[in-house]
Structures are given as C-alpha cells and as structure tokens.
Amino acid sequence: MRIAIVEDDIVLADGLTASMKQSGYAVDWVSNGSDADALLSAQIYDLLILDLGLPGLDGFQVLERLRKRNSQTPVLILTARDASEDRVKGLDMGADDYLTKPFGLPELEARVRALLRRGQCGSVNSIFLGPLKFDPIGLRVEINSDFIELSARELRILELLLRRQGRVVSKEQLRQTVCGIEEELSDNAIEVYVHRLRKKIEINGIFIRTIRGLGYLMDYSHEE
C-alpha cells in the first residue's frame, strides 16, 4: 500500500516517513501544497496524511482540489490547528479523520490502519493463493496458518504479485511499488528481493516464475 505525506516540518516528516516504511508501506513525501496537488494529480494513493499550514496551497485547498477530481483516497488531516471550526471545516470538505499535534505515534498508526481498512471496504481484505494468506492491512503473511516473516519491501512485492496473480508483473512495476518518488532501485536489486521472497514462500505449490525479458508471474500448482 502507498501513502502520501504532505508536511512542511522536515523533522516530523522524517519521523512519519520512517514509521510508515517500518510498518511496510511505500511512502512519498512532499513539503508544500503545490507539489502535493501535482503529486496527487499524477498518482493514486491508498491514504493521504495532510498538514493544513503549508507553503503555497494550504491543506484545505489541497483537499478541495483532490475531492473535485472525484478522488476517494482516504485523508487524515494532521495539524496543530485544534479549533473546532477547523475540524468541522476539514471533515465537511471531505477529510476522513482529523488528528491534532502533538500526537502519540501509536494512535496515529492505529488511525492509519483504520482508514486503510475503511478504504478496502467492498473488497476482500485478505488475499489467498493456495495455502498462502496475505492480510494487506495488518501486513501479515501465513502459509498453512504458519506466520512468514518478510521485510517491508518483500511485503510490497508479494502484495503486487498476489494482486496480479496469473499475470506478468514487470520489474518497473515492482520498482514503482517498492520505491518512493525520490528513491532508485536497480534491476539487480529487484532480482535480489524476488530471490529472497522465493526462499521464504515457494513451498506447497506456491511459486514465482521468471518470464525472461518481461518480469515475474506468481502462481499456484496444486498436485494431488
């Protein structure tokens, strides 16, 4: 899952980004409203964490433009503005949640999980492939009910392969899933992550095929 953070406090943004990445999410961060509007026009996110007091466009303007594009992306406003009228305005304009600074990181993480679950309503929360079960909200992988420990990037790669199981996924698609907008990852690095993932999940008929020149395909072969 991919999260956008719009925050002009660099120290806070670094902390939020590190926390979200540690939880297994891909994260893009921008520090002003104009860049945020451009980013949200070009990319689709599973969640937006949005400050209000931003250079350029303020957070309310970013939110207004997002909703005018008919985007359903869940929005968590994270701001120092604790006035009741600001809270009401943000929620009326289409924000899904409103949290004031200072805040506790565990509470923020819980709100993020809740919004992501809400965004998944209408779709199956867990993804299955043979004996493998993947929970995209809790970021938990089980095979035959046994927990499989994966790194954050391995989780992102697995999620994309599972969501497109039976179809080829290119290295570029994997790179976009794993990396933020300012990160770079070589083809060799992608191959290393896929190799590590294979060692952990290729059991009981689950496998990741290499389709030479095209990418990877995840599938399941049940043998009696």
**Per-residue pLDDT, 135:** 87
Report the C-alpha gap between 183 and 28 in whole angstroms: 9
- Asked whether residue 224 carries a pLDDT value surpassing 70, the answer given is no
The dihedral of CA 179, 180, 185, 189: what is its sign? Answer: negative
CB 25 within 8 A of CB 109: no
Put residue 19 in one of left, alpha, beta given phi > 0 → left and psi -120 to 50 → alpha: alpha
Q: Of 180 and 76, which is predicted with more confidence?
A: 76
Q: How remote is the C-alpha of 220 from its chain's centroid?
A: 25
Put residue 18 in one of left, alpha, beta given phi > 0 → left and psi -120 to 50 → alpha: alpha
**Per-residue pLDDT, 108:** 94
Q: How remote is the C-alpha of 128 from its chain's centroid?
A: 19
Report the C-alpha gap between 51 and 31 in whole angstroms: 9
Min mean pLDDT across 23-27, 75-79, 119-123, 129-133 is at 119-123
Cis peptide before 102 (omega within 30 of 0): yes
User: Which H or E element spans position 179?
Assistant: none
In tens, the pLDDT along 135-174 reads 887 788 999 989 999 988 898 899 889 988 888 999 988 8
Report residue 122's pLDDT band, with 50, 70 and 90 as the boundaries.
very low
> What distances in angstroms separate CA 92 from CA 52, 96, 98, one per listed residue?
15, 9, 11
**Per-residue pLDDT, 182:** 62
Q: Of 115 and 118, which is predicted with more confidence?
A: 115
In tens, the pLDDT along 45-82 reads 889 999 999 998 999 999 999 999 888 899 999 999 99
Q: What's the whole-model pTM score?
A: 0.68
The mean predicted confidence, pLDDT, of the chain is 89
Domains parsed from the chain with CATH numbers: 2-119 (3.40.50.2300), 127-220 (1.10.10.10)
